[in-house]
Amino acid sequence: MPELPEVEVVRRGLQRWVVGRTIESVAVFHPRAIRRHLAGADHFSAALAGTTLLGACRRGKYLWLPLESGDALLAHLGMSGQLLVLDSAAPDGPHLRARFRFTDGGSELRFVDQRTFGGLDVEPLVAVGEVPMSVRHIARDPLDPRFEDAGLAVALRRRRTGLKRALLDQTLISGVGNIYADEALWLARLHYARPTETVNRPEAARLLSAVRAVMNAALAQGGTSFDALYVNVNGESGYFDRSLEVYGRRDRPCSRCGTPIRREVFMNRSSFFCPRCQRRPRRARF
Protein backbone atom coordinates (compact mmCIF):
# COMPACT_ATOMS: atom_id res chain seq x y z
CA MET A 1 0.00 0.00 0.00
CA PRO A 2 1.32 3.49 -0.82
CA GLU A 3 2.54 5.27 2.31
CA LEU A 4 3.11 8.96 3.00
CA PRO A 5 6.02 9.54 0.57
CA GLU A 6 4.23 7.87 -2.34
CA VAL A 7 0.99 9.77 -1.69
CA GLU A 8 2.89 13.06 -1.30
CA VAL A 9 4.59 12.49 -4.67
CA VAL A 10 1.14 12.09 -6.23
CA ARG A 11 -0.14 15.20 -4.43
CA ARG A 12 2.71 17.28 -5.84
CA GLY A 13 1.94 16.00 -9.31
CA LEU A 14 -1.73 16.93 -8.97
CA GLN A 15 -0.76 20.36 -7.67
CA ARG A 16 1.33 20.91 -10.78
CA TRP A 17 -0.90 19.44 -13.46
CA VAL A 18 -4.59 19.75 -12.46
CA VAL A 19 -5.03 22.46 -9.80
CA GLY A 20 -6.67 25.55 -11.25
CA ARG A 21 -8.41 23.60 -14.01
CA THR A 22 -12.18 23.20 -14.36
CA ILE A 23 -13.75 19.76 -14.70
CA GLU A 24 -15.91 19.38 -17.80
CA SER A 25 -17.14 15.83 -17.30
CA VAL A 26 -16.62 12.72 -15.19
CA ALA A 27 -17.10 9.12 -16.33
CA VAL A 28 -17.20 6.27 -13.81
CA PHE A 29 -16.43 2.80 -15.19
CA HIS A 30 -16.53 0.65 -12.05
CA PRO A 31 -18.93 1.01 -9.10
CA ARG A 32 -16.30 0.11 -6.51
CA ALA A 33 -14.32 3.21 -7.44
CA ILE A 34 -17.04 5.36 -5.85
CA ARG A 35 -18.51 2.91 -3.35
CA ARG A 36 -18.05 5.48 -0.56
CA HIS A 37 -20.21 7.93 -2.50
CA LEU A 38 -23.57 6.48 -1.53
CA ALA A 39 -25.58 8.75 -3.84
CA GLY A 40 -24.19 6.89 -6.85
CA ALA A 41 -22.26 7.54 -10.04
CA ASP A 42 -24.63 10.08 -11.60
CA HIS A 43 -24.62 12.23 -8.47
CA PHE A 44 -20.82 11.92 -8.19
CA SER A 45 -20.34 13.11 -11.76
CA ALA A 46 -22.87 15.93 -11.46
CA ALA A 47 -21.28 17.19 -8.23
CA LEU A 48 -17.94 17.62 -10.02
CA ALA A 49 -18.89 18.83 -13.50
CA GLY A 50 -18.25 22.55 -13.90
CA THR A 51 -16.21 22.88 -10.70
CA THR A 52 -12.64 24.20 -10.48
CA LEU A 53 -9.96 22.39 -8.49
CA LEU A 54 -8.56 24.87 -5.95
CA GLY A 55 -5.69 22.88 -4.46
CA ALA A 56 -4.15 19.49 -3.72
CA CYS A 57 -4.02 18.45 -0.06
CA ARG A 58 -2.94 15.40 1.91
CA ARG A 59 -3.14 14.01 5.40
CA GLY A 60 -1.37 10.72 5.93
CA LYS A 61 -2.42 8.48 3.05
CA TYR A 62 -5.50 10.50 2.06
CA LEU A 63 -5.59 12.99 -0.82
CA TRP A 64 -8.21 15.60 -1.54
CA LEU A 65 -8.79 18.39 -4.03
CA PRO A 66 -10.86 21.29 -2.61
CA LEU A 67 -13.60 22.53 -4.95
CA GLU A 68 -15.22 25.90 -5.54
CA SER A 69 -18.44 24.45 -4.11
CA GLY A 70 -16.91 24.02 -0.65
CA ASP A 71 -16.74 20.26 -1.07
CA ALA A 72 -13.66 18.24 -1.94
CA LEU A 73 -12.81 15.37 -4.27
CA LEU A 74 -11.36 12.78 -1.88
CA ALA A 75 -9.10 9.90 -2.94
CA HIS A 76 -7.56 6.95 -1.16
CA LEU A 77 -5.25 4.83 -3.31
CA GLY A 78 -5.72 1.60 -1.36
CA MET A 79 -3.32 -1.15 -2.47
CA SER A 80 -2.97 -0.31 -6.15
CA GLY A 81 -4.79 2.94 -6.96
CA GLN A 82 -3.16 5.39 -9.36
CA LEU A 83 -4.08 8.96 -10.29
CA LEU A 84 -2.58 9.54 -13.73
CA VAL A 85 -2.44 12.73 -15.78
CA LEU A 86 -2.41 11.56 -19.40
CA ASP A 87 -2.94 12.94 -22.87
CA SER A 88 -6.57 12.52 -23.87
CA ALA A 89 -5.45 10.44 -26.86
CA ALA A 90 -3.61 7.91 -24.65
CA PRO A 91 -5.22 4.45 -24.82
CA ASP A 92 -7.32 3.30 -21.88
CA GLY A 93 -5.68 0.69 -19.67
CA PRO A 94 -7.53 -2.45 -18.51
CA HIS A 95 -8.04 -1.13 -14.98
CA LEU A 96 -9.41 2.35 -15.72
CA ARG A 97 -12.09 3.12 -13.11
CA ALA A 98 -12.85 6.83 -13.64
CA ARG A 99 -11.96 9.61 -16.06
CA PHE A 100 -11.96 13.38 -15.49
CA ARG A 101 -11.93 15.66 -18.54
CA PHE A 102 -11.26 19.39 -18.29
CA THR A 103 -12.72 22.38 -20.10
CA ASP A 104 -9.32 23.42 -21.48
CA GLY A 105 -9.22 20.29 -23.65
CA GLY A 106 -5.75 19.35 -22.42
CA SER A 107 -4.56 16.33 -20.48
CA GLU A 108 -7.07 14.36 -18.44
CA LEU A 109 -7.02 12.78 -15.00
CA ARG A 110 -7.60 9.04 -14.76
CA PHE A 111 -8.16 6.86 -11.71
CA VAL A 112 -6.71 3.40 -12.35
CA ASP A 113 -6.98 0.63 -9.75
CA GLN A 114 -6.18 -3.01 -10.43
CA ARG A 115 -7.33 -4.42 -7.08
CA THR A 116 -10.19 -1.92 -6.53
CA PHE A 117 -9.35 -1.34 -2.85
CA GLY A 118 -8.94 2.40 -3.46
CA GLY A 119 -11.78 4.82 -3.94
CA LEU A 120 -13.09 8.31 -4.68
CA ASP A 121 -15.75 10.43 -3.02
CA VAL A 122 -17.11 13.97 -2.91
CA GLU A 123 -17.37 15.22 0.67
CA PRO A 124 -17.91 18.50 2.51
CA LEU A 125 -14.92 20.03 4.25
CA VAL A 126 -15.05 20.28 8.03
CA ALA A 127 -14.71 23.92 9.10
CA VAL A 128 -12.05 23.13 11.71
CA GLY A 129 -8.93 22.07 9.85
CA GLU A 130 -10.49 22.22 6.38
CA VAL A 131 -10.37 18.44 5.98
CA PRO A 132 -13.03 16.12 4.52
CA MET A 133 -15.44 14.53 6.97
CA SER A 134 -13.98 11.03 6.68
CA VAL A 135 -10.43 12.29 7.32
CA ARG A 136 -11.11 14.25 10.51
CA HIS A 137 -10.18 11.30 12.77
CA ILE A 138 -6.79 10.87 11.06
CA ALA A 139 -3.86 12.32 13.01
CA ARG A 140 -1.46 14.82 11.49
CA ASP A 141 1.55 13.24 9.84
CA PRO A 142 5.20 13.82 10.81
CA LEU A 143 5.86 16.11 7.83
CA ASP A 144 2.97 18.40 8.77
CA PRO A 145 4.44 21.62 10.25
CA ARG A 146 1.64 21.59 12.84
CA PHE A 147 2.48 18.11 14.10
CA GLU A 148 2.98 18.30 17.88
CA ASP A 149 6.30 16.62 18.63
CA ALA A 150 6.00 17.00 22.38
CA GLY A 151 2.67 15.24 22.42
CA LEU A 152 3.99 12.09 20.75
CA ALA A 153 5.97 10.86 23.76
CA VAL A 154 2.97 11.38 26.03
CA ALA A 155 0.65 9.61 23.59
CA LEU A 156 3.04 6.68 23.20
CA ARG A 157 3.27 6.11 26.95
CA ARG A 158 -0.51 6.14 27.24
CA ARG A 159 -1.03 3.55 24.49
CA ARG A 160 0.58 0.61 26.29
CA THR A 161 1.18 -1.34 23.10
CA GLY A 162 4.10 -2.33 20.89
CA LEU A 163 6.09 0.45 19.26
CA LYS A 164 5.49 -0.60 15.66
CA ARG A 165 1.79 -1.15 16.29
CA ALA A 166 1.66 2.43 17.59
CA LEU A 167 3.45 3.75 14.50
CA LEU A 168 0.86 2.07 12.29
CA ASP A 169 -2.04 3.61 14.25
CA GLN A 170 -3.28 6.38 11.95
CA THR A 171 -5.11 8.09 14.83
CA LEU A 172 -1.76 8.61 16.58
CA ILE A 173 0.58 9.45 13.71
CA SER A 174 -0.55 9.15 10.10
CA GLY A 175 1.16 8.17 6.89
CA VAL A 176 3.50 5.55 8.35
CA GLY A 177 3.05 2.04 6.95
CA ASN A 178 4.91 -1.22 7.22
CA ILE A 179 7.93 -0.28 5.08
CA TYR A 180 8.76 3.05 6.67
CA ALA A 181 7.99 1.85 10.19
CA ASP A 182 10.66 -0.84 9.85
CA GLU A 183 13.13 1.60 8.30
CA ALA A 184 12.58 4.27 10.98
CA LEU A 185 12.83 1.79 13.85
CA TRP A 186 16.14 0.52 12.45
CA LEU A 187 17.47 4.05 12.10
CA ALA A 188 16.40 4.85 15.68
CA ARG A 189 17.83 1.53 16.99
CA LEU A 190 14.50 0.57 18.58
CA HIS A 191 12.85 -2.86 18.47
CA TYR A 192 9.38 -3.06 16.96
CA ALA A 193 7.99 -4.87 20.04
CA ARG A 194 9.32 -2.33 22.56
CA PRO A 195 6.48 -1.47 24.97
CA THR A 196 5.42 2.11 24.29
CA GLU A 197 5.07 2.88 28.01
CA THR A 198 8.84 2.39 28.37
CA VAL A 199 9.77 4.91 25.65
CA ASN A 200 11.12 8.10 27.21
CA ARG A 201 11.09 11.58 25.67
CA PRO A 202 14.61 11.44 24.14
CA GLU A 203 13.80 8.06 22.55
CA ALA A 204 10.49 9.35 21.21
CA ALA A 205 12.29 12.37 19.76
CA ARG A 206 14.90 10.09 18.19
CA LEU A 207 12.19 7.92 16.66
CA LEU A 208 10.30 10.90 15.26
CA SER A 209 13.53 12.27 13.80
CA ALA A 210 14.15 8.88 12.18
CA VAL A 211 10.63 8.76 10.73
CA ARG A 212 11.12 12.18 9.17
CA ALA A 213 14.57 11.33 7.84
CA VAL A 214 13.30 8.16 6.17
CA MET A 215 10.23 9.92 4.75
CA ASN A 216 12.26 12.79 3.32
CA ALA A 217 14.82 10.42 1.81
CA ALA A 218 12.02 8.42 0.18
CA LEU A 219 10.41 11.60 -1.14
CA ALA A 220 13.68 12.66 -2.74
CA GLN A 221 13.70 9.37 -4.67
CA GLY A 222 10.04 9.42 -5.70
CA GLY A 223 8.89 6.88 -3.13
CA THR A 224 9.19 3.09 -3.06
CA SER A 225 8.03 0.95 -5.99
CA PHE A 226 8.30 -2.83 -5.74
CA ASP A 227 6.14 -3.31 -8.84
CA ALA A 228 4.19 -1.31 -11.41
CA LEU A 229 1.27 -0.71 -9.03
CA TYR A 230 2.80 2.41 -7.50
CA VAL A 231 3.66 5.22 -9.91
CA ASN A 232 3.46 9.01 -9.87
CA VAL A 233 0.94 10.99 -11.95
CA ASN A 234 3.16 10.62 -15.03
CA GLY A 235 3.35 6.84 -14.66
CA GLU A 236 6.93 6.83 -13.35
CA SER A 237 8.13 4.56 -10.53
CA GLY A 238 10.07 5.65 -7.46
CA TYR A 239 13.38 4.03 -6.59
CA PHE A 240 13.76 4.27 -2.79
CA ASP A 241 13.57 0.46 -2.69
CA ARG A 242 17.27 0.54 -3.63
CA SER A 243 18.04 2.41 -0.39
CA LEU A 244 16.10 0.26 2.08
CA GLU A 245 18.17 -0.85 5.06
CA VAL A 246 16.03 -3.64 6.52
CA TYR A 247 12.67 -4.01 4.78
CA GLY A 248 12.73 -7.00 2.43
CA ARG A 249 16.39 -7.70 3.29
CA ARG A 250 16.05 -10.92 5.28
CA ASP A 251 19.41 -12.66 5.92
CA ARG A 252 21.37 -9.83 4.31
CA PRO A 253 23.99 -8.10 6.50
CA CYS A 254 23.00 -5.01 8.47
CA SER A 255 24.89 -2.05 6.99
CA ARG A 256 25.84 -0.90 10.52
CA CYS A 257 27.05 -4.07 12.19
CA GLY A 258 26.99 -6.88 9.64
CA THR A 259 24.47 -9.01 11.55
CA PRO A 260 21.96 -10.78 9.25
CA ILE A 261 18.62 -8.99 9.09
CA ARG A 262 15.79 -10.99 10.63
CA ARG A 263 12.18 -11.28 9.52
CA GLU A 264 9.30 -12.03 11.89
CA VAL A 265 5.56 -12.24 11.32
CA PHE A 266 3.72 -9.29 12.85
CA MET A 267 0.03 -8.34 12.46
CA ASN A 268 -0.30 -10.69 9.45
CA ARG A 269 2.61 -8.97 7.75
CA SER A 270 6.40 -8.98 7.98
CA SER A 271 8.69 -7.06 10.30
CA PHE A 272 12.36 -6.73 9.43
CA PHE A 273 14.99 -5.69 11.97
CA CYS A 274 18.61 -6.13 13.04
CA PRO A 275 18.74 -8.34 16.16
CA ARG A 276 21.96 -6.67 17.29
CA CYS A 277 21.19 -2.99 16.64
CA GLN A 278 17.56 -3.37 17.75
CA ARG A 279 17.65 -5.46 20.91
CA ARG A 280 14.46 -7.30 21.77
CA PRO A 281 13.04 -6.01 25.08
CA ARG A 282 12.65 -8.43 27.97
CA ARG A 283 8.95 -7.70 28.06
CA ALA A 284 7.87 -7.43 24.45
CA ARG A 285 4.50 -6.20 23.22
CA PHE A 286 3.30 -7.33 19.78
Kindly list the catalytic residues.
Answer: 2-3, 61, 269
Q: How far apart are CA 47 and CA 67, in angstroms?
A: 10
Other Cβ atoms less than 10 A from the Cβ of 193: the count is 22
List CB contacts of 266: < 8 A, sequence separation 6 or more: 164, 192, 286
Characterize 101-123 residue by residue with b for buried, 16 or more Cβ atoms within 10 angstroms of its Cβ, and e for exposed.
Answer: bbeeeebbbbbbbbebebbbbbb
Alpha-carbon distances, residue 36 vs 51, 121, 245 (angstroms): 20, 6, 37
Alpha-carbon distances, residue 156 vs 10, 102, 207 (angstroms): 30, 46, 11
